[in-house]
Amino acid sequence: MMRKTPAPALASALALVVALGTTGGAQAQGSNAAQDKKALVAKVLQLQQPGIENAARLVAEQPALMLLQQAGLVLQRVPAERREATAREIQAEAKKYADEAVPLLRQTAVRVAPTTIGPILEEKFTADELKQLIAILESPVNRKFQQLGGDMQRALNEKLVAETRATIEPKINALQQAVGEKLKAAAATAPASAPSR
């Protein structure tokens, strides 16, 4: 005579087997979903690479632009016959810096984007939202709009400058004059350096 397993024990064992099978399947599905989401994020980053590179270029150029602005103020005190040549030399140095710094920052930005921007995209967007975002970024209308960005910016800048030149130029000149006077006053009142012993 066969010994029968009590029904509650059999039901518990079957439930455990089913639960283990389901958990393993859910883990596999979760792992696949995470991999799919990582692939979608990688696609978004690839599509946004020009923007990432442009942001890096701006970061690289900002110190040189600030330095050129400061140099422009100091150039006012350089003798007129040396001013233009000195300005060209300074611009050449700034270009040399940019030629070295911009590619370095671009490469670094593209390299670190997956570990900086990637986790934010993974956390804040669902897989479906990432798919929608990719569709938007890949759309011909969006590409056309992005290509026109430079033209639109130039048109806006030209009109902005043309319409505000009469008002803004005197303000810029007054600022330059005020800064120049303050620099001259500070230089005139600075104590002479102590003689060396």
Please indicate, yes or no, if residue 118 is contained in any of the structural domains.
yes
Residue 95 lies in a domain: yes
Residue 56 in any domain: the answer is: yes
Residue 11 has pLDDT above 90, yes or no: no
> Which residues constitute the domain of residue 73?
44-125
Site of tokens 């130029």:
169
Among candidate residues 100, 136, 107, the one with its CA nearest the CA of residue 49: 107
Per-residue pLDDT at 30 exceeds 70: no
Q: What is the mean pLDDT of the chain?
A: 81
In the chain, the number of structural domains is: 1
Is 121 among the domain residues?
yes
* Secondary structure of 83-149 as H, E, C letters: HHHHHHHHHHHHHHHHHHHHHHHHHHHHHHHHHHHHHHHHHHCCHHHHHHHHHHHHCHHHHHHHHCH
In a domain, 98, yes or no: yes
- Domain assignment present for residue 174? The answer is no
For residue 120, being part of any structural domain is answered with yes
- Provide the whole-model pTM: 0.62
Asked if residue 61 is part of any domain, the answer here is yes
